[in-house]
Amino acid sequence: MMSDCPTELRQAALCWLSEPDAARKAAGVRQLAKNGSSGAMQLDSQAVLSATQIIPGIPDKPELVAPRLVKRRSMITPEGRAILIHALVHIEFNAINLALDAIWRFADMPREYYTDWLQVADEEALHFSLLADHLQTLGHAYGDFPGHSSLWEMADKTRGDVLARMALVPRTMEARGLDAVPVLRDKLAQAGDLTAAGILDIILMDEIGHVAIGNRWYGFLCEQRGLEPLETYARLAVEHAAPVLRGPFNLSARRAAGFSELELAALSC
Q: What is the 3-state secondary structure (H, E, C) of 176-209?
A: HHHHHHHHHHHHHHHCCCHHHHHHHHHHHHHHHH
Do 100 and 18 form a contact (C-beta atoms < 8 A)? Answer: no
pLDDT tens-place values along the chain, 269 residues long: 444 788 899 999 999 999 999 999 999 999 999 999 888 899 999 999 988 888 999 999 998 887 776 667 677 788 889 999 999 999 999 999 999 999 999 999 999 999 999 999 999 999 999 999 999 999 999 999 998 888 889 999 999 999 999 999 999 999 999 999 999 999 999 999 999 999 999 999 999 999 999 999 999 999 999 999 999 999 999 999 999 888 899 999 999 999 999 999 998 77
What is 62-267's CATH number, 3.40.1160.10, 3.40.50.720, 1.20.1260.10, 1.10.1740.10?
1.20.1260.10
DSSP-derived letter for residue 1 is -
The residues facing 64 across adjacent strands are 147
The residues facing 198 across adjacent strands are none
Cα separation, 206 vs 145, whole angstroms: 26
Cα separation, 95 vs 169, whole angstroms: 10
Nearest to 196 by CA among 208, 185, 206: 185
Nearest to 244 by CA among 254, 234, 252: 234
Cα separation, 208 vs 253, whole angstroms: 6
The full set of domain ranges for the chain reads: 62-267
Please tell me the pTM assigned to this model: 0.95
